[in-house]
Amino acid sequence: MKTVYDFTVKDRNRNDVSLLDYQGKVLLIVNTATGCGFTPHYDPLEAMYRDLRGKGFEILDFPCNQFANQAPGDADEIHSFCKMKFGTEFPQFAKIDVNGENAEPLFAFLASEKPFTGFGKGLKNAALNKFAGMNNKKFGDKAYIKWNFTKFLIDRNGIVIARFEPTTDMKEVRKAVEQLLG
């Protein structure tokens, strides 16, 4: 059975990092952007990281510029922004594509394990669904991730447990992480 531990990714300095390095930890893997309406998710993410990392929790942050060019800049600019504006301490990896022919294989795997099921109900979610649909048309069947700040929860065995769209309340995400940590 394939797990996230089968993948190697690039850190923000373009060095290889085996996800096997995170074996035994609960992970939240997130595609992020610095200029998105969901960028304030960095605050509850950092709070969760500070509160729970001592219990074996890690957040893995993968900036992505495929959604309305909301993550411009290079790895250093993105990292500086996140440190200065949100005080982030969790690991930030190289800027990647999450959709299309050049999609990071990890994200293709995550999305195949927990496919998109919708943004939820309400006008805001319907609007995001329409905007994401237009954006993702160019990726066809390789539109794995629908928008910035999609989060995947991974258990201590490297198994994908849940997918949270950016419209999911961060309190719900935290509750799921805490339950998994025990």
pLDDT, tens digit, 9 for 90 and up, residues 115-173:
998 888 777 777 777 777 777 777 877 888 999 999 999 999 999 999 999 999 999 99
pLDDT, tens digit, 9 for 90 and up, residues 93-107:
999 999 999 999 999
The predicted structure's pLDDT at residue 133:
78
CATH code for position 153 = 3.40.30.10
What is the span of the domain harbouring residue 118? 4-181
Q: Is 64 considered catalytic here?
A: no
Q: Give the containing element (helix H, strand E) for 111.
A: helix 105-113
> What percentage of residues in the chain have a pLDDT greater than 70?
100
Which of the residues 26, 27, 29, 36 is marked catalytic?
A: 36
Cα 3 to Cα 128: distance, rounded to the nearest angstrom: 30
Cα 43 to Cα 131: distance, rounded to the nearest angstrom: 25
Q: Given a cut of 90, is residue 26 above it in pLDDT?
A: yes
Q: Given a cut of 90, is residue 42 above it in pLDDT?
A: yes
The predicted structure's pLDDT at residue 63:
96
Mean pLDDT confidence for 54-65: 96
Cα 76 to Cα 81: distance, rounded to the nearest angstrom: 9
Amino acid, single-letter form, for residue 104 = E
Cα 47 to Cα 34: distance, rounded to the nearest angstrom: 18
Per the structure, the count of domains in the chain is 1
